[in-house]
Amino acid sequence: MKIVILDGYTENPGDLSWEGFERLGDLTVYDRTSPEDIIPRIGDAEIVIINKTPLRAETFAACPQIKYVGVLATGYDVVDIEAAKSAGVVVTNIPTYGTAAVAQYVFALLLEICHHVEHHNRAVHEGRWTANPDFCFWDYPLIELAGKTMGIIGFGRIGQNTAKIAAAMGMDVLAYDEYPNDAGKELGKYVSLDELLAKSDVISLHCPLLPSTKGIINKETIGKMKDGVILINTSRGPLIVEEDLKEALDSGKVYAAAVDVVSKEPIEADNPLLSAKNCIITPHIAWAAKESRERLMNIAVANLEAFLKGSPQNVVNK
């Protein structure tokens, strides 16, 4: 059984092992694969493992021996699911590996907005505290989260884990989700989107990218938010109309934003958020703690083992 991993570097830049896959077949690992190399590198492999390398209909047509595609991520829009299904190819994803890491990262971003830790650390190292006549100083308003309201759009596993941290910090939690559940009701109050927008001091996005959620943060919905709201996005870049968010940041309607994802990745030089006021942008790393990537690796191997035993799990194209 030949296994090819087309873009393994992001999952494993060298601090993890591919041994689990090596046990299951003849493994070839590429750090990255350009579009023109996808079909040649797959060759006659029956098992294809990818992260963001696209597999389109022409790939399945050119490589009819493919039996299984494992996506090293939760999102699987890089695969033409219908083409894979028509070709009889099983496609799996990794649904739950990053819950703790992403929820933690939300608060790394939020607390940086609240306290500007790195800015003040740099100021101290530049000698500003040494030269200061007072025993302390700060360059930005310092924000206490206790007593404030966090609105969470998309209240699945990550959204609910984010709610637990928010509650531990003394925040009230409002949630908007198309499918409320009992676990969510224990962690926050389900409300309409309009009510969440109107009442939240902080809004964190945790919904999948669907036709109904694409551009959910836009000029109209921003207009319904509190003045001075803080926006966090660790979910999907296209949930936000970036030009509208830039306008709101520059005007002060939105006090600050922190995004780990953008509409096109890697970020393009003309992305409007690069020139927006009070906007933190990080390079899609909320998921990437080593512990999280270890879970991803273990689940990916387990997915392939289950497929080889005839009982595939986490299948996205049933």
Tokens of 301: 């191997």
CA–CA distance, 184 with 93 (Å, rounded to integer) = 24
Check: CB of residue 113 under 8 Å from CB of residue 280.
Answer: yes
CA–CA distance, 202 with 108 (Å, rounded to integer) = 14
Q: What is the largest CA-CA distance in the chain?
A: 74
Strands 90-92 and 279-281: unpaired
Catalytic residues, by residue number, are: 236, 265, 284
Check: CB of residue 87 under 8 Å from CB of residue 48.
Answer: no
Tokens of 235: 């979910």
Cα 72 to its chain centre, rounded Å, is: 13
* Cross-strand partners of 217: 240
CA–CA distance, 159 with 177 (Å, rounded to integer) = 10
